[in-house]
Structure formats: structure tokens, C-alpha cells
Amino acid sequence: MTLKELSLFYQLCEDAHLSNLAQKLGITQSAVSLAIKSLESKIGEPLFDRIGKKLVINEIGRLFKEKTYPHFQALMDAENFFKDNKISGILTIASSKTIGDFITSQIVFHFLETHAHVMIQKDIQNSAHIINLVKNGIIDIGFIESICCDEDVIKEEMGNDELILVTSDKDLEGKIFYIDELLYKKWIVREKGSGTREVFLESIGKLAKELKICMEFSEFEEAKTILLKNPQTITCLSKVVVEKELKRGELYEVKLHNLLIERKFYLIYNKNKYQSKLFLEFKNFVKNFAVT
């Protein structure tokens, strides 16, 4: 059954004169009659009794109207809602750890403040997994911290980030080191697939093989706890992650000679993704949001 057939049926329930409805809609009586017969054929029962030249809704028609009209009205409301050009829908996103914990939560909060008909389902994964989710069309948008060269994935820059070495060893505060002078420390690093880990190891080149990696972590709070309780440990994190601890003097940034570790944050999506009004609105909102 079609929305047109249902609409004609409900209008005939209010005024069963075919000629009146045909004139009102600017169509022929036979067009109305054929639509009603088509609907009745699909139902398998007549909805009107034909008494002379009149149509009179029967017991099947009354029951059919009672059962279907609320759903028809809901469909029409939905159609009108989207015709009104409102930004609406359910968006699925996933962010890497740093971006998800410190950036996208604020972006999502402010976006939802001004878009009452939008729902955003968000998750936090490592960058490698997010690229997979986008490539397979499982999520609409991903936010990652590492380079993505997959031909099925489009990436757009959304901001910059600085990575720093961090420790609770006060003896390292205020001094500048070459990276090979710190190889004796106990290094804790992010898990494999993390953008932070990839960028750091790539930045130190061959020396990455000489690091004494004693532990991997996925949660920032876990890393901070290890650092605070074990001054012999050191790690590489986004500066935004340890901003509060640095200000309180609980952790210290370890400065390096001739090595500035920077990276870009990327917004990614599948090249075949349909770019709805909601998708474009959110993407532009993200890119205009101050992330640095």
C-alpha cells in the first residue's frame, strides 16, 4: 500500500463523495476509485460498502483506520519534519584517546546545544582501529592522531598537537637532553595502534629499538599513576593530557635538544560516504572549533 492510497482512504472516511474528493485534488473520480480498489485488494477485504452511488465505510474500514491512522500520521509528521530543512539524524563517531578525552567531548557538547534534533553516538578507540571502522563504513566520522594513507579514506586536518616527554623525576626538570641520554630510563608507552606511540617512535628513528619499554598502557590515568609513583619512569604524551599535573608541579616536562615532536589531528571519513546536511554541518563545526 502507498501513502497516496492511504491518504485518499482517510479523506474518503471524512467525506465519502468521490466527486468532491476528485474535484478537491484536481484528479478524476476513476483515479480515486482505482486507488481505493488497489488498497482493498492489498488488504484482501472491502473497506467501503457500495450503496447505490455512495461509498459507506464498513466495519473492516473502521478497524483498518483505527489501526493504521496513527502510524500514517507519524510518517507524515516525519516527512514534514525533513522538508522543513532541519538538521537532524543520528551520527556515529569514534575518536582516538587524546582527541576523545580532551577535544571531541567539548565539540559534541557544544554542537548538541544548538541542534536539538541530533543524536551523536561516540566511542574511543586507537587510531588504527578507527581507520578500519571508517573504511568498512561502520562509523560516519573518525578522529585520529596518526597518518592515514588508505585510498578509501578521506582525511582533513582539524588541528595541531605537541608531544612531550614527561616524568616525575625532579632531577630532569629544567635541563635539556639528547634523546639517547634518556635511554636508561624505564619507558612506558601507549599500546600498538596508538597514534601517540607511532609518532613518537618515528620521531626518534633507529633509537626506538634501544628504548627500555617496561610497560604499555591504554588509559592516561594509568600512565600518570605509574609516573607519579615511579620517578625512574618516563613517557611521551600530548601536552594537553598532562597540563594540570605540569602546572601543579607533580610531573615535569623533559626538554630535548633538536627534537620537537609535533603531529596533526585528522578528521576522516569514507570516500563513498553520503554527505547529508547533518554530516556537513558537523564536519564544518569541528573544523571551526578551536582545537589547539
CATH code: domain 3-83 is: 1.10.10.10
The CATH superfamily holding the domain 89-158+264-288 is Periplasmic binding protein-like II (3.40.190.10)
Q: What percent of the chain has pLDDT over 90?
A: 55
Examine domains 89-158+264-288 and 161-263 and report if their fold is the same. yes
Query: Residue 282: pLDDT band by 50, 70, 90 thresholds?
Result: very high
Question: For domain 161-263, which architecture applies?
Answer: 3-Layer(aba) Sandwich (3.40)
pLDDT at res. 233: 96
pLDDT at res. 85: 63
Could you count the other beta carbons within 10 Å of the beta carbon of residue 258? 7
pLDDT: is 284 or 21 the higher one?
Answer: 284
DSSP string, the chain: --HHHHHHHHHHHH---HHHHHHHHTS-HHHHHHHHHHHHHHHTS-SEEEETTEEEE-HHHHHHHHHHHHHHHHHHHHHHHHHTT---EEEEEEE-HHHIIIIIHHHHHHHHHT-TTEEEEEEE--HHHHHHHHHTTSSSEEEESS----TTEEEEEEEEEEEEEEES-GGGTT-EE-GGGGTTSEEEEEPTT-HHHHHHHHHHGGGGGG--EEEEES-HHHHHHHHHH-TTEEEEEEGGGGHHHHHHTSSEEEEETT--EEEEEEEEEETT----HHHHHHHHHHHHS---
Domains of the chain, residue spans: 3-83, 89-158+264-288, 161-263
Q: Residues 73-126: pLDDT tens digits? A: 888 777 777 766 678 888 999 999 889 988 899 999 999 999 988 999 999 999
Q: Residues 261-278: pLDDT tens digits? A: 998 999 999 999 988 889
Dist. CA 99–CA 96, nearest whole Å:
6
Report if pTM > 0.75. no
Dist. CA 188–CA 198, nearest whole Å:
14
Nearest to 120 by CA among 134, 132, 107, 103: 107
Mean per-residue pLDDT of the chain: 90
Q: Residues 41-84: pLDDT tens digits? A: 998 989 888 887 778 889 988 899 888 888 888 887 777 777 66
